[in-house]
């Protein structure tokens, strides 16, 4: 499941693929929390680490922040014109879900090591 996580660009936010990934991240986050709480096999964290997907989550988090800051007035108008608030809710909650997921992931040394290895490339 984690291998399908990808980095989006601004014009892909709220697309069908973005919604699918948002739903997947919510499920992975809930499973990671359940595994951590029960003390059982933390296969989600291991999979994220093995496939170096923590940096993908971080990049998508930064993208959401960028879109919020740069495009928020236009988004608010689009949400106001929308017949449903599902799009607005998904956009707003995506940031908190990713942050919460990263919080669980950062309790593992392998995630921190992945960040150390990837952040140099990311900053460049």
- What are 48-68's pLDDT values in tens digits? 888 888 889 989 999 998 888
Reading the block at residue 115, the tokens are 């960040």
Of 26, 106, 109, 15, which is closest to residue 63 (Cα–Cα)? Answer: 15
pLDDT, averaged across the chain? 83
Q: What is the pLDDT of residues 31-48, one digit of tens each?
A: 999 988 888 788 898 898
pLDDT of amino acid 16? 92
Confidence class of residue 114 from pLDDT cuts 50, 70 and 90? confident
* Structural domain that includes position 59: 2-123
Q: Which residue has the tokens 């940096």?
A: 55
Is 90 exceeded by the pLDDT of residue 81?
no
Give, in degrees to the nearest 5, the angle at Cα 28 between 113 and 93. 100
Number of structural domains in the chain: 1
Model-level pTM?
A: 0.80
Reading the block at residue 25, the tokens are 């991240």
88, 79 contact by CB (below 8 A): yes
């Amino acid at each position: 499941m984690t291998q399908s996580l990808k980095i989006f660009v601004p014009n892909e936010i709220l697309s069908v693929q973005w919604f699918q990934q948002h739903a997947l991240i919510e499920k992975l986050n809930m499973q990671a929390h359940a595994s951590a709480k029960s003390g059982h096999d933390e296969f989600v964290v291991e999979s994220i680490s093995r496939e170096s997907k923590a940096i993908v989550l971080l990049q998508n988090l930064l993208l959401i922040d960028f879109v919020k800051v740069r495009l928020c007035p236009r988004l608010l108008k689009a949400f106001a014109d929308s017949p449903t608030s599902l799009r607005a809710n998904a956009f707003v909650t995506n940031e908190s879900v990713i942050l919460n997921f990263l919080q669980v992931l950062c309790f593992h040394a392998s995630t921190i090591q992945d960040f150390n290895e990837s952040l140099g490339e990311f900053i460049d």
